[in-house]
Structure formats: C-alpha cells, structure tokens
A and B are shown apart, each in its own frame.
Chain A
Amino acid sequence: MSLGKEMGTQAGEKGGRMLSLSVDGKSVQVREGAFVLEAARAAGVEIPTLCHHPALEPYGGCRLCLVDVTRPEWGGWCKLVIACQFPAEEGLLVHTATERVVETRRVVLDLLLARCPETPLVQELARRHGIEQTSYVANPEPTDCILCALCTRVCDHLGISAIATVNRGIGREVAPPWGEAPPDCIGCLACAEICPTSCIPYETSEGSRTIWGKTFEMLRCTRCGRAHVTVAEADFFAGRGGVPRSYFELCDACKRKEMAATFVKLSRGAAGFSVGA
C-alpha cells in the first residue's frame, strides 16, 4: 500500500471508479479500494480508532472501529466488521452505532482501561463511552503501551524492522531482538513520535541520542549547529539511494530558511513580483 493512499475524503486508488455508500444515513462517495473507515470520515461520522494511521496498512488490532454493515437485499441481516479493513462497496449501508457495536466497543475499552488504568488517552476515550473505572481487574503494573503496534509497523514500513512485538497473549510486548540494543535501529524516532501514548522513552542530548538502549552519535546542522539527526539515520537513508548525504547537512529549520531565501531571491528577480516588505 502506498503512502497517503487513504488520505483525504477522496480516498482510494487514484483513477478508480467512485463508489456510493451510506454511513449512518449520510451518503458519501469514495474511490474503489477505499475502506469503510475512510468513507465514514469523509461523511463526517466519527469512529474511534487506536491502531489506525493513514500512512500505514490497516492492522485490525484495537477493534474499536467495529461497525455493522448491511445491504438492502440482505433482508435485515447485518455483518459486524471493522471499518479500517472492510473494503467500501457500492450501495453498502454502514451503521456505526448499533446496540451491539456500542456494547462491544464498551467491553473493548473497559478491557483496555484495565490494562492501562493510568493512561490519559485511554481514560479519556473510555470516559467518552461512559466508562469511568474498569469493571475488570486493573493491571497491578500499569503500562501506557496499548499494543497498537504503530511503532513496529512504522519501523517496518521504513524498511528498518529494528523492533517487533514479541511473546504471545498477555505477555505480548514491543521489544528489540532478545531485549538487547537493536542492531538495525537508526535512532530515527519514528516509533516514539508515532506512539499515541508517548510511551517509548528516548533522550536526545548534546551530541548523542539514546533509544531502545542504543546510543547514537548525532549529526550537527552545518549552519545552526543543532544536533538534528543521527549519523546512522543519515547513513541509512543516503545509503538507500534517493536522498544525497548532503541533504542531511542542514536541519529542517535551516532548510526552510534557505528555501524561503531562495524564493525571495527568485521573486525579486521576476518582473511584477514582490514578496513582503
């Protein structure tokens, strides 16, 4: 799946035919290949999600985006599916708040709150569904990790695969191989930044960054001197081709400044244009 495939209201493969469907009575059009979740969002219907990210392949782990789908010819029979992975179909009727959808979502949130009783994101989502306190046994060792696997998936997506979910069942966790400093990690922070509960610790200090127990040497911006990227990250992306190593000489802020300066210069040179004062 390509990046940004699901972005925007005109979701789906470019050039695919348009499909009409209805979400909670609102009709909406999406491109063929889009999922029900995108159709709902295009229709302005809110469906909660925790493991979904528009840049990544749908995962189906959090189960919060459950919806009922049906078709007029099904004679009232409904199918319970998850919106992030069910492909939109012409004429599909989507119901996002049937009794069983609401109830199942509540059970899932209740269970998640038991796992993460102190996590603000989970508390807030549970509260919005009428759950103040979990009815199950609260985790005696509270964690903020909701196991949405966004971190491992973004790491895979970048072609790094330094971390993964390990172990089964309740013992599942995100970890580097053998729990040791991951040899493939480039310290890019994609995992930490995508984490919806910010529970992946890292530290960037003068000249070095530490994440997953691995310390990286930083590359400084040749202009402002800020340590902006790890040497390993610059090497990785430059080594993969497409991005020259020189791209990492400037930090993002300085790159923007330079680009702005270039625009100003160009526009001054062009007749009839003036930028700013």
Chain B
Amino acid sequence: MRIESEQAFQRFVAQARKRSSARSREVLVCCGTGCLANGSAKVAEALAAELAKRGSDVPVATFTKRTGCHGFCERGPLVVLQPQGVLYTRVKPRDAAEIVEKSVIGGEVISRLVYKDPASGQRIPGYAEVPFYQRQTRVAMRNIGRIDPADIEDAVAHGAYAGLAKALFTMTPEQVIEEIEVAGLRGRGGAGFPTARKWRSCRAAAGDRKFVVCNGDEGDPGAFKDRSIMEGDPHSVIEGMVIGAYAVGAHEGFIYVRDEYPLAVVHLTLALEQARARGLLGANILGTGFDFDIRISRGGGAFVCGESSALMRSREGKVGEPRAKYVHATERGLFDLPTVLNNVETWADVGAILARGGAWFASMGTAKSKGTKAFSLVGKVKNTGLIELPMGTTLREIIYGIGGGVLGDRPFKAVQTGGPSGGCVPESLLDLPVDYEKLTEAGSMMGSGGMIVMDDRTCMVEVARYFLQFLTEESCGKCIPCREGLHQMLAIFEDLVAGRGKSGDIEKIERLARGMQLGSLCELGKSAPNPVLSTLRYFRSEYEAHIERRACPAGICRELTAYEIVETACNGCHACFKVCPVGAITGKIKELHVIHHDTCISCGACFDVCPTQAIRTFPKKELAERGVA
C-alpha cells in the first residue's frame, strides 16, 4: 500500500486520524528506557490484561498504548489516561486493577497516584498542569509520549510526515533550504553550525552521489535526549532526513546509532520498514520521482565516534578516528563524497519546521539561537528527566522551575553542561539565558544538552578529575596533545585530590590546557580542558585549598577528609552504624555513636544517611594535630 500522490497521502492521513479518534480512550504507558527500568513493561501488561478481563464493563473501548519517554523519569513508571489527561506517577503492576476499576470505568481520579508538587504540597492530576510539563515547549520531542513508536499510522495521525509532504509536493529544494534558514536552525549536536548553510554547501558540491547522515552516537555521561527521540519518535528523524536529502540531492542515508541503544535500533528499524512500505522512503517517494533510502549503522562503543569525521571513518569500516576538517564534509565526507551530517535532534526539528514554517520556529529563542532545545536534566536535582524548552530559558528556570530544585534542598553549587567536554557554571550565573553563545562565554558549551546539577557536597577538583578520566579513556590517541596531554593532566589531578599537589600546579595546568586547546586535532581534545578551566575560573579557591592547605573544602576527597560525629546532634539512630562498610562506627541505639579514624575510609556513606546532620567533615591533617594516627 504505497502512497503515490498528494491525494493518496491526504487520504492516508485522514484514515489514520479516523482510526486515532475512534480510539479516543487510551491508557498511555511510558515505555522509555527509564520507565522500562522501573518496570513499566509489566505495568503495561497488567493494564492490558485488566482491560481485557473487564472488557464488558468498560463503557468505551479503551486501548493500552506503549509510548516513548515522557521525560519525567524521576516519577516513573508513568501512566496517562486520555482524553482526560490524567497523569499517574510511580505506577506499579498491582495498581492496574484499581486504575481500570476506578478511573477507566468509574471516571475517578486516584489521588494516591497523582503527582504531588513538593513546592505547594498539592496534588496535581492534570498532565499539562504539572510544573515539569507546563513550562516546556516541545518541538523535536513533539510526539514522544503521545504516539506508539512502533505504529506509523499513529505517528501520521499526530502530524508525522506532514512536513515531508509539504516539501515534496509544494517546494523546490532551494525553498526547503530557505525555510530552514528562516527558522535559524543550528546544529543540535552542540556546535551550533547553521543547518541551512551546511545543506546549501552540500547541494552546491559537485557530484551525483551524496549522503545524508544522522549522528545518533550520543555518548556523553548523563545525556539521553537523542536516545529518547530515536526510541520514542523515530519517524521524526526519518522525516527530517528525507527532507534534508531532498534539499541537498542525496539518495542514500545512514543513521549511526550506538549499539548501547538497542531499543532505538529496534524502533528505528521498524519505522524504516513501515515508512518504506507506505512509500515515504525508498524509490519514488510519494510518487514524486525522488529516491532516498536509509540504512542503520551501529556504533561499536567508542565515544570519539560521535565526532563527525570519526563517525564517517567508522561507517566506512575503518578505525573511528577524526581527521582534519579543512575540507568540509559537505564537499568530502563519507567515502570522500559530499555529506550532510546532523544530530538526531536537528533532524527531528526539520519536519516540524517545514510543517509549521520557519518563522514560527524563529519566533522562539534568542537573537542568534532560535527555537527550542532538548536537555537531559540529571544529577542532584529533584525532577530528573528529559525536557525541551525555548532557547534563552535561564538556568534557574530549568533547575528550580522545571527541575524542582536541588535534591534534599541542599545548596546549589554548579551545573555541568555540555557533557564531559563542557564546563561547570556556578550559582552566580544561574540567571544565564541558555543559548550557544552564552554558554560558551561562561566557559561551557551546549554540547549534547546534558545538564548535571551539583550540590554543595561536590568537590570541583574531583569533578574535573572525573571528566578527565573519562576523556583519557575515550581519547583515540591519534594526536599528541590529546593523548599525552590528557594522560599528564589526569596525573596532576590525581595528585591534587590525594593531597600531593605542588605550588605551580595551577600554572602548569593552565599552560597544558591551552596547548591542548590549540594543538589537538579534533573537538574532543580541543574541548577536553573545559571542565578543568571552568572549575578553575569559578572555583579557584578550591584548587588552592587542595594544594596549599591539603584540604578539600567540600569534604569529598578521601585522602584529605576525615569524618566525625557531633555529640550534640547525634540521636543514636544507628543508621550510620548500619551503612558503614568497614565497621568504623561504634555505638548502641539511642546512645552517642563514634567514628574510629584508624579504620574509617572516608567514603561519606554515614554523612549521606544521617537524619540529623550530626556528621561533620574536617581536614584529615588535623588528625595528626589531635594525636590520632
């Protein structure tokens, strides 16, 4: 049943919508990776079984739908009842009977399962009214959570491929590129290169054989926006790529996706098959005579393959290593042929821009950064999850408005943006509007859209060391500044956190960082010093404390930190005793507990569990002054 004309496409949309509205009653179960890990597959099964069992009692036919990630991973598994728009959080399989009985049949809201706003203490049943969702604007993630990613008709009923139809039936390739230019779309992989300029350059490149590539090799720790898009709405990616291929004149496309994203591979494969079967992909797309097909290429797990030139080498079957980009990929890319490579999120934006117009997209955002941006919000924040909002939203709005603030209401210390090569932005910059330029000015970057919130129990020197270690393991080793520079930089940081820092280390770090920034081959090495330089810029005193006073002000670095119990605050609850992994704490229930320094390994487990904040850290060197070994 291939669609071969504009009329046929309209008929297909009408039919899909009709089927969708016939299923007006739906129980949506989030089957994104986060919720699946929390057991949502069992919840979906239980709900489907319960609905089947109570079939004759259910007044209107109700369907269970497994959707992609709703983003509110912190509260998963999530269940949404449509058309009421009621959101249930942390649903267990055993809740299925009650949900069907009370809500589906009885039309009641089960208060127990409704989200309780920690700020006001109120129960908020409406999905759209929950602050986490209320403040978001979804473009790239427009259909995630609303559609069944394994069902193309459901996607089409929600607007998928409308942008493609408009482009193919009513626009020339040049007009498509102009629309993207009007939108002001810039690369969502982090570098922010203007998409229209990239496409135009590839369109102008000589040759008949060109490629369109989707970079789905999202490897930053804590980032999962591309994963959720590929898993939750693979059609948005495919639609964008077909439009891009039409614009640049390409007939072959690849989606390079990490092998660590098995669900994304499954959903993309299914979506490609379904799109091909409908004539939305393959030969003679929608009867317009335009041919384009996409293949999936699975990555082997190297972080550096997220770098575009390394990704292309990997796709060619060679070792995934970057090369100089003095000749752009749009002229000589994959197999040395003109190639447009864009991030998953960029491709997902394209269809919406074509369908709703570039001006609509450009009406959101800041002067130079238009539209919306997806972020993975993680770390010490109450509402961990996936969000999308207009560019220019402040960090404060993201962390406190949507994120609900710091976990345990501890003081905010910094937010790390842009993945391991990004930087740490301190509290004084919380009102920073987030866009490409502002983050770069602050010494960080947009990067993958990862945001890691850190509280006061975070040592910034240790944070820098952690990211250095990650990058040291992931550097491909091709060029000297990155390979040897990261190795030496990590050695300096290992000394710092162990109290072996020397005066002059800071200057040494700064000099090496500059050499790596200027000398490295690819962005991995060039940006590797960012976590170091941004923490030095905003938290220099912590570095100085580690070197000059052999002290970790945050009380984290084990070699420099000792723990003790404040007598007046301990209520003898015994929690620390139970959690101590080395038996360094003694004390009977309801009596004062004591930490024995000779066995304590400074892991901080007691600190984290103490309900009365009776545990205090102090510099380990004071132990000597107290005469303790």
Contacts and interface: CB of A to CB of B under 8 A. Distances in A.
B515 A60 contact: no
A167 interface: yes
B484 A86 contact: no
Interface in A151-179: 164-165, 167-172
Nearest to A82: B324
Contact of A170 (B472, B478, B514): B472
B475 to A, nearest CB: 4
Which label, helix, strand, loop or mixed, suits the secondary structure of the B interface? helix
B476 interface: yes
A115 B514 CA distance: 19
Interface string B292-309: 000000000010100000
B474 interface: yes
B508 A111 contact: no
A86 B518 CA distance: 15
Contacts of A137: 488, 491
A108 B488 CA distance: 12
B307 to A, nearest CB: 13
Interface string B314-336: 00000100011011000000000
B518 A100 contact: yes
A103 B511 CA distance: 9
* Interface size class of chain B, counting residues whose CB lies under 8 Å from the partner chain: 20 to 34
A251 interface: no
Interface in A61-100: 61-63, 66, 80-82, 85-87, 100
A229 interface: no
B12 to A, nearest CB: 48
Contacts of A58: 324
Contacts of B508: 135
Given A104-B518, A169-B486, A63 B481 contact: yes
Contacts, number: 106
B512 interface: yes
A169 B326 contact: no
A167 B473 CA distance: 10
* Interface size class of chain A, counting residues whose CB lies under 8 Å from the partner chain: 35 or more
Interface string A188-230: 0000000000000000000000000000000000000000000
B487 A169 contact: yes
A63 B488 contact: no
Nearest to B504: A135
A45 B491 CA distance: 37
Contacts of A60: 323-324, 478-479, 521
A238 interface: no
B324 A147 contact: no
Interface in A117-155: 135-137, 147, 149
B8 interface: no
Contacts of B479: 60-63
Contacts of B512: 107, 136
A169 B324 contact: no
Interface string B457-481: 0000000000000001111111111
Pick the 9 closest A-B CB pairs, nearest first. A107-B515, A172-B477, A111-B484, A169-B475, A85-B324, A136-B488, A170-B487, A104-B518, A104-B519
Interface of B: 302, 304, 319, 323-324, 326-327, 472-481, 483-488, 491, 508, 511-512, 514-516, 518-521
15 contacts: A60-B521, A63-B520, A87-B326, A107-B481, A108-B480, A111-B485, A111-B515, A114-B488, A165-B319, A168-B473, A168-B474, A169-B472, A169-B476, A169-B483, A172-B476
